[in-house]
Amino acid sequence: MTDIRRIDGQKSVLQGVLVIASAGRMLAHAVRQAGYSPLVIDLFADQDTDAIAEQLWQVDNFSLAVVQAVIERLLLSYKIQWVIYGSGLENQPETLAYLTEHFNVTGNDSSLCRRLNCKQSFFKQLDLLEVCHPDVQFYPPKNSTGWLIKPVKHAGGVGISWCDRAAGDNEYYQRFCQGEAGSVLFCANGEQYELIGFHRQWTVNQDNFAFAGIINEAFLPEKQQQIVRFSNLKNEDLDAGSDVIVELLMVLEKYNMHFGYRVADEMARFIILSKHSINKFNWKESLDIQILQKVLPKLHGTRAKLEDPIKDLIDYCNEHGFTRSEGKLKNMQINLDKNGYASFIE
C-alpha cells in the first residue's frame, strides 16, 4: 500500500500553490521565491524540500487514487490557488485530468499528454515539422542489433532496453544513437519560450538507460547553442539576421570577447520589435544599432589588445553594411594608432 507521509506540523497559512513532481524541490523553491506558499507532493520528501515547503507529502506514485486521497486531506486545511506539476505525471493522464477539472493548473493538460503518448502520430508530426529524431518502427527490425525497445509511456529512461525480444503492445522500436545525452531547460507560454540553460545528462550504465544524473554543463558548441536560442523568435528578419549574429559571436570569440546569452537574446528581440516600431528599421539597421549599443561599448584597452579585434570587426561591419558601427570602429582605430589606447568613450 502506498505510504502517504505527512511531514511537519500544521501551518497557519491556509492557502498555497500545490506542487506535484517526482522531486518537487526546484519548483517549490520557485514558488517560494515568487512569494507564495508551496504545498508539495513528491516521491522523496527530502530534507531540502521539507525546509522549503509549507507542507510536504510523500507518495509512492502519482496514480489518481493516491493523489486524490492526498488532496482530499490537504483541502481540509488549505485552499489551493494553483497547481504546478513537474516530471512524473507524463504517464498519468487520468491524474492530470482530475487536477485540470478541479483546479487552476499551470502547464499542459491531459489531452496533450495523451497526444504525446500516441507515438505514431507524434513521430509523424516530427517528420512533418522536419525535426530530426532516431529511426523508429512499430514492427520488429530485420536485424535487431543497435535497436532499442521503448515503452509508449515512460519517463527518465525507465523501461528502455536493448532489442533482445519482441516488443509488447505498449512498446515500440527505436534505433540506438551513440553520443552524449543532454537536455535544454526552458519556460514556454504556448507562443514563445525562454531558454534557461543546456545540461549534460547520464544514465546508470550502458545497459541501463534510466536517468542517473544531470549537470549544468553545455553539451553543444557555442554556435549551435546560439542557433537554438534564436529559434525562439520566429520572424523572417531574425531568420536572416541570426546567422550574422552568430558570425559576430565567432569573430569576438577568437579574442575571448564574445557576449553572453542574455545579450544575444536582447539583440534578437530588438530585431523583431524594431520592425514594428515607429521607425520600422530593417534587420540590418537594427543589428547595426545593437552592435553599437551592446558590443562596442565593451571594447577598451591597448593596441596589443584591440588592434586585431577592431580590424576584424571593421571588416565584418563593412561586409554586412553596418555603417554606424563601422564608423565608430574606425574612430576607435584612429585613437588606437594615435594614442596606443582606445575605448568606446572618446
Weakest-pLDDT range from 192-196, 289-293, 330-334:
192-196
44-76 residue pLDDT tens: 999 999 999 999 999 999 999 999 999 999 999
Query: Residue 5 pLDDT more than 50?
Result: no
Predicted confidence band of residue 10 (pLDDT cuts 50, 70, 90): very low
Query: Residue 239 pLDDT more than 80?
Result: no
The residue behind cell 488549505 is: 78
Q: Which residues, 6+ apart, have CB-to-CB distance to 193 below 8 Å?
A: 186, 187, 232
343: β partners: 300
Quick one: pLDDT at residue 134? 94
Quick one: pLDDT at residue 1? 32
Q: How many residues does the chain have?
A: 346
Domains of the chain, start order: 5-110 (3.40.50.20), 118-175 (no CATH), 181-204+211-215 (no CATH), 222-343 (no CATH)
Quick one: pLDDT at residue 229? 66
128-187 residue pLDDT tens: 888 889 999 999 999 999 999 999 988 788 899 999 999 999 999 999 998 888 888 887
User: Collapsing DSSP states into helix, strand and coil, what is residue 3?
Assistant: coil
**Distance (Å, whole) CA 332 – CA 255:** 17
Quick one: pLDDT at residue 14? 52
Sequence-ordered strand ranges (E) for the chain: 5-7, 15-20, 38-42, 55-58, 79-85, 105-106, 136-137, 147-151, 161-162, 171-175, 181-188, 193-205, 208-215, 300-302, 341-343
220-237 residue pLDDT tens: 777 677 667 666 555 555
Quick one: pLDDT at residue 180? 84
CB contact burial 196-206 (16+ within 10 A = b; e otherwise): eebbbbebeee
**Distance (Å, whole) CA 61 – CA 91:** 11
**Distance (Å, whole) CA 125 – CA 161:** 25
pLDDT greater at residue 150 or residue 345: 150
Quick one: pLDDT at residue 3? 40
Average pLDDT over residues 30-35: 91
pLDDT greater at residue 109 or residue 277: 109
In angstroms, the Cα distances linking 118 to 91, 115, 121, 140, 171 are 12, 5, 6, 18, 11
Q: What percent of the chain has pLDDT over 90?
A: 51
Query: Residue 41 pLDDT more than 90?
Result: yes
Predicted confidence band of residue 299 (pLDDT cuts 50, 70, 90): very high
Identity of the amino acid at 91 = N
Quick one: pLDDT at residue 53? 94
